Amino acid sequence: MNNLLNNVLNKCREYTKNGTVASYIPELAKSNPEDFGICVVADGGSFYCAGDFSKSFTIQSIIKPIILLLALLDKGEEKVRALVGVEATGKPFDAFNYSDQALKCENINPMINAGAIALCTLINGDSYEEKFSRLLSLVRKMADNPQLEVNQDVYISEKTTGNKNRALAYMLKAYGMIGDNVDDILDCYFSACSINVNSFDLAKIAFIFANKGKNIITGEQIFDEKYARYINAVLVTSGMYDGSGEFALDVGVPAKSGVGGGIMAIVPNRMGIGIYSPALDNKGNSCAGIKALESLSKELELSIF
């Protein structure tokens, strides 16, 4: 497997030239577009890594399935579904026009910014600091890495420049979908996007989603299998935004991308995959990361379809 991963990286490295690193969050523009790393956790917990697998990057939108998970754990499916729907939008992650329908809860998807911002309000906690601290604890637990922390430079960079997310949040407030103070909610969302991880962390998180909520290394059932099914289903239709259809055809597994350059891919009952390559396509997905997953999917017959 280590050889296979090295071969995949070598074969797909040229695609890092097809994209550019995100710059709308100025701090992300400092990433090295040539970085490329992969990690796979499989076979009852063995892990295999290649390239820049230990390099840190911010989790960005890969936090969205975990925000959804914590909202489900804290408030249950009914309350979550009442606030944020599950239909694919086919729109970019920062879209204002979530669907061609009216701005209603059912037309917001949990994998686009507006949906994730709204879901922060459903996390239990007396303050948004407490909500975020509970979210960070869940990420640390799933990644089995108590060291995970917020990258303060990225957090400040996004908070300073995040006017589009601020506008999205005020739209949600204007339409009565959220009630709390917008700055407090966004602080939780920006902090969440700014958690530093590496490919190994993402692979371990993916492995929990792949194993129906169970950490099969420790034997602990972290969450109910019905939530793994919920989140994996949403990821298939929406995890790669308006690139989700093509990704379903070419790779065929639930996955989530982030503008930090990460992709978390979940192969149900088989493996968790984490990738880092920060040169992004025009949909905000890692160019070489997608190619590496395509190649791995063909080689190991990973598609669930």
Closest approach of Cβ 182 to ligand GLN, in Å?
A: 14
Q: Specify the residue, 281 or 294, whose C-beta has the smaller distance to ligand GLN.
A: 281
Minimal CB distance residue for ligand GLN: 61
Spacing of C-alpha 298 from chain mean position: 23
170 is catalytic: no
Segment 167 to 196, residues that bind ligand GLN, using CB under 6 A: 193
Considering the candidates 31, 64, 204, 238, report the single residue annotated as catalytic. 64
In angstroms, the Cα distances linking 219 to 48, 225, 289 are 21, 14, 30
Taking the least distance from each CB to ligand GLN, the nearer of 8 and 35 is 35
Among 281, 284, 287, 297, binds ligand GLN (CB under 6 A): 284
DSSP-assigned beta bridge partners for residue 41: 47, 272
Q: Kindly name the residue from 241, 256, 267, 276 that is annotated as catalytic.
A: 241
Tell me whether residue 259 or residue 275 sits nearer to ligand GLN (CB atom).
259
Annotation marks residue 17 as catalytic: no
CB of 47 or CB of 209, closer to ligand GLN = 209
Residue 113 in contact with ligand GLN, rule: CB under 6 A: yes
244 is annotated as an active-site residue: no
Q: In 3D, which of 194, 115, 203, 111 has the Cα closest to residue 152? A: 194
Q: How far is the CB of 166 from ligand GLN (least distance, A)?
A: 10
Three-state SS for the chain is CHHHHHHHHHHHHHHHHHCECCCCCHHHHHCCCCCCEEEEEEHHHEEEEEECCCCCEECHHHHHHHHHHHHHHHHHHHHHHHHCCCCCCCCCCCCCCCCCCCCCHHHCCCCCHHHHHHHHCCCCCCCHHHHHHHHHHHHHHHHCCCCCCECHHHHHHHHHHCHHHHHHHHHHHHCCCCCCCHHHHHHHHHHHHCEEECHHHHHHHHHHHHCCCEECCCCEECCCHHHHHHHHHHHHHHCCHHHHHHHHHHCCCCEEECCCCEEEEEECCCEEEEEECCCECCCCCEHHHHHHHHHHHHHHCCCCC
114 lines the binding site for ligand GLN (CB under 6 A): no
Q: How far is the CB of 259 from ligand GLN (least distance, A)?
A: 4
C-alpha–C-alpha distance, residues 300 and 250, integer Å: 13
- 138 near ligand GLN, rule: CB under 6 A: no
Binding ligand GLN (rule: CB under 6 A), the pick from 57, 93, 98, 155 is 93
* Binding flag, residue 66, ligand GLN (CB under 6 A): no
Q: Could you report how far apart the first and last alpha carbons of the chain are, in Å?
A: 23
Q: Does 259 bind ligand GLN (CB under 6 A)?
A: yes
Q: How many residues bind ligand GLN (CB under 6 A)?
A: 11
Work out whether 165 is an interface residue with ligand GLN (CB under 6 A).
Answer: yes
Residues found in the chain = 305
Among 13, 87, 91, 94, binds ligand GLN (CB under 6 A): 94
109 binds ligand GLN (CB under 6 A): no
Identify the active-site residue in 31, 61, 194, 277: 61
Question: Is 259 in the active site?
Answer: yes
Query: Given 236, 251, 259, 267, which residue is catalytic?
Result: 259
Q: How far is the CB of 190 from ligand GLN (least distance, A)?
A: 7
> Which one, 252 or 278, has the nearer CB to ligand GLN?
278
Binding site for ligand GLN (CB under 6 A): 60-61, 93-94, 113, 158, 165, 193, 258-259, 284
Catalytic residues: 61, 64, 189, 241, 259
